[in-house]
Amino acid sequence: MKTRLLTLIVLLMVWIMVQAQSAPEATNAVTLEPIGTYTTGLFDEGASEIAAYHAGSATLFVVNGADKTIDLINISDPAAPTLTTQIDLSEYGDAANSVAVYGDLVAVAVQSDPPQDLGSAVFFTPAGEFINRVSVGALPDMITFTPDGSKALTANEGEPNGDYTVDPEGSVSIIDLSGGAETLTDANVTTIGFTDFNVDGPRHTELGTDLRVFGPNASVAQDFEPEYIAVSADSATAFVTLQENNAVAVIDLAGASVTTIVALGYKDFNVPGNGIDAISDGTINIANYPVFGIYQPDGIAVFESDGITYLITANEGDTRDYDGFSEETELGEATLDAATFPNAGDLEALNGLEVVTTGDIDGDGDLDQLYLPGGRSFTIWDANGALVFDSGDQLEQITAVVLAADFNSTNDKNGTLDDRSTSKGPEPEDVEIAVIGDATYAFIGLERIGGVVVYDVTNPAAPVYVHYANNRDFSGDAAAGTAGDLAPEGLLFIPAENSPNRQNLLVVTNEVSGTTTIYQIVIPS
């Protein structure tokens, strides 16, 4: 007991020193106060994934993957959210993946069965009445509206089947809403693919060497898997994460064309300030190691500062793991290049660390570099994809202090201290931006340990750590539904002028616990 207490004290002192240099806490900080939760009672079935909000009816539209519905949750009283009805999506496909609202129009991305077939974008009224449906690309994983409401966009992931014998092309569909949703036909849909970037395509030479294309027998167009979309304030440009490929596609919406593909590069975990806990041994040990992180962002958002557009990404990391192909392995099972790692025995403590098999640079069957999925961070980029700021190891440093006894826990079971240190750590999943007064805040959801980290990103080059809130009960039983919120999947900011209680709200949908929690954003007076 004394040894553990001493370890925690030392960690606290180290963290304070690191934070003083890399993540100063705001003195005029906002906080997140949970005020209401809707609970489906469904554990680990994806019963609360993504939310959208209709201000006129004070209703949240929540993707319920377990029931294959969109749940309509009334939040007229945010402290007592209530299910009013569900939209059954079985008539339109296999399951919903995403939902968005613009004005009085609700849009849902629905995958087919099998998901390698073309999916659908389905439109409803705020009361859940069907309006129209159009076809989009394979496996639409995310749907959003442009800020001006003139278009709806879907990120069509195009994942392969389990044995990797059917691999549809990834794409982005642009749905022209200028004539109204009632008149839509498939002729109003423009689906943008990436065949020009194939090896025999006219734009292949534009791809950077850091771009990850490695699916078995896959063309570039098949290998690209669009995950998430953010749109510039002028509704002219879409920024699309290609998560598995560690890249962002920039799309000109007026021209319905790909402007560029930006390879995001790698994060050096051997640089001071970029440490990770890479060993699941029941202790907290954030240190530097000769390994690289693949950013592989999931959620992405756009914001402006002094008239300049910036991107912010939640660097979750994602490996391909199918029956027909898997790039997952543990360091202890990999063969390392003797020239690059002459002292490979010194890495024995890292044998359980998840690495990818795609680090064989010279093709001789061993790993020349060690690459880990995810950056364990959030990153701010300029509109051209140049790195402006990365949070380094701050997310692990913060959770190591605030929740030392449950650091790097997994999301479906309590009593799992340090369990996720060998695989993606806190696993930042999504990011949401909010402008409140003169400040711009970023909210980053942590999928594994849970909770939301808040940063002031008003100065994109020097974000300031503000607050960390976690509505999880680490003394409860996860499967029994007594552990609170588990696995934040989606974040949604509701500004005060649109919220039912005229306060700024943050909605967090939690995939494993099947809960939707409403936080009030408390601003100090």
Contact 455, 25 (CB under 8 A): no
Tokens of 86: 């569900």
**Out of 90-104, 203-217, 488-502, which region has the weakest mean confidence (pLDDT)?**
203-217
The residue type of 456 is: D
Contact 412, 483 (CB under 8 A): no
DSSP class of residue 359 equals G
Contact 402, 431 (CB under 8 A): no
**447 inside domain:** no
Torsion of CA 136, 299, 291, 417, to 10 degrees: -120
pLDDT digits (tens, 9 = 90+) for 388-433: 999 999 999 999 999 999 999 999 999 999 999 999 999 999 999 9
What percentage of the chain has pLDDT greater than the value 90? 90
Q: Is the pLDDT of residue 246 over 70?
A: yes
**301 inside domain:** no
DSSP class of residue 323 equals S
- 219: Cα within 13 Å, side-chain hemisphere: 18
Contact 150, 176 (CB under 8 A): yes
CA angle 478, 428, 253 (to 5 degrees): 125
**172 inside domain:** yes
Q: Is the pLDDT of residue 349 over 90?
A: yes
pLDDT at 70: 98
Contact 172, 137 (CB under 8 A): yes
pLDDT at 26: 52
Q: Is the pLDDT of residue 209 over 90?
A: no
Contacts with 440 (C-beta within 8 Å, 6 or more apart), sequence order: 303, 305, 433, 434, 456, 457, 458
Tokens of 355: 């690495």
d(CA 314, CA 228): 11
Please report which confidence band the pLDDT of residue 170 belongs to, taking 50, 70 and 90 as the band edges: very high
pLDDT digits (tens, 9 = 90+) for 446-504: 999 999 999 999 999 999 999 999 999 999 999 999 999 999 999 999 999 999 999 99
Q: Is the pLDDT of residue 15 over 60?
A: no
What percentage of the chain has pLDDT greater than the value 70? 95
**248 inside domain:** yes
- 357: Cα within 13 Å, side-chain hemisphere: 13
pTM above 0.75, yes or no: yes
Contact 288, 270 (CB under 8 A): yes
d(CA 182, CA 204): 39
Q: Is 33 exposed, middle or buried (0-12, 13-18, 19+ CB in 10 A)?
A: middle
Tokens of 251: 């799309």
pLDDT at 489: 98
d(CA 220, CA 38): 42
Which CATH number fits the domain that encloses residue 227?
2.130.10.10
Closest C-alpha to 501, from 142, 55, 25, 32: 55
Q: Is the pLDDT of residue 27 over 90?
A: no
Please report which confidence band the pLDDT of residue 22 belongs to, taking 50, 70 and 90 as the band edges: very low
Closest C-alpha to 443, from 494, 397, 393, 401: 494
**161 inside domain:** yes
d(CA 129, CA 192): 29
Structural domain total, the chain: 1
Mean pLDDT of all residues in 75-84: 98
Please report which confidence band the pLDDT of residue 343 belongs to, taking 50, 70 and 90 as the band edges: confident
Closest C-alpha to 450, from 69, 32, 162, 161: 32
pLDDT digits (tens, 9 = 90+) for 111-120: 999 999 999 9
d(CA 317, CA 438): 32
pLDDT at 28: 57
Q: Is the pLDDT of residue 23 over 80?
A: no
Please report which confidence band the pLDDT of residue 25 belongs to, taking 50, 70 and 90 as the band edges: low
The residue type of 291 is: V
Q: Which residue has the higher pLDDT, 214 or 98?
A: 98
Per DSSP bridges, beta strands 292-294 and 371-373 are: parallel
Please report which confidence band the pLDDT of residue 365 belongs to, taking 50, 70 and 90 as the band edges: confident
d(CA 86, CA 102): 19
Mean pLDDT of all residues in 160-175: 97
d(CA 506, CA 519): 5
Closest C-alpha to 57, from 131, 108, 129: 129
Mean pLDDT rounded to a whole number for the chain: 94
CA distances from 460 to 26, 102, 248, 451 (A): 15, 28, 19, 23
**156 inside domain:** yes
d(CA 77, CA 81): 7
147: domain range?
A: 89-263
Mean pLDDT of all residues in 27-46: 92
**451 inside domain:** no
**182 inside domain:** yes
